[in-house]
Amino acid sequence: MKISGKCPKCGSSDIVRVNGEVGPSGSGNNIIIGKTIFSAVKVNRYICCECGYAEEWIDKNDIEKIKNSKKAIR
């Protein structure tokens, strides 16, 4: 969706991006990777306005942070 601009479920191009947030005490759509909210990684959502399908994406420069803090599933 982020790349194609189209919903994979219904084919609609009516997509909105909702930016992830890190609020006080870690509220909002994010992943906490450390002990404090300062190490939280924001999770951005792409939502199809047609059928309600949603995808979640993490910014590329945040992926390293997650890689370093979580164990990869193999």
What is the contact surface with Zn ion in residues (CB under 5 A)?
Answer: 7, 9-10, 12, 48, 50-51, 53
Question: For residues 1 and 31, which CB has a smaller minimum distance to Zn ion in the complex?
Answer: 1
Q: How far is the CB of 14 from Zn ion (least distance, A)?
A: 8
Mark out the alpha helices in the chain (DSSP H runs).
Answer: 60-69
CA 34, chain centre distance (Å): 17
* Structure-block tokens of residue 33: 């990777």
Least distance in Å: CB of 33 to Zn ion? 31
CB of 11 to Zn ion, least distance (A): 7
β-strand partners of 57: 44
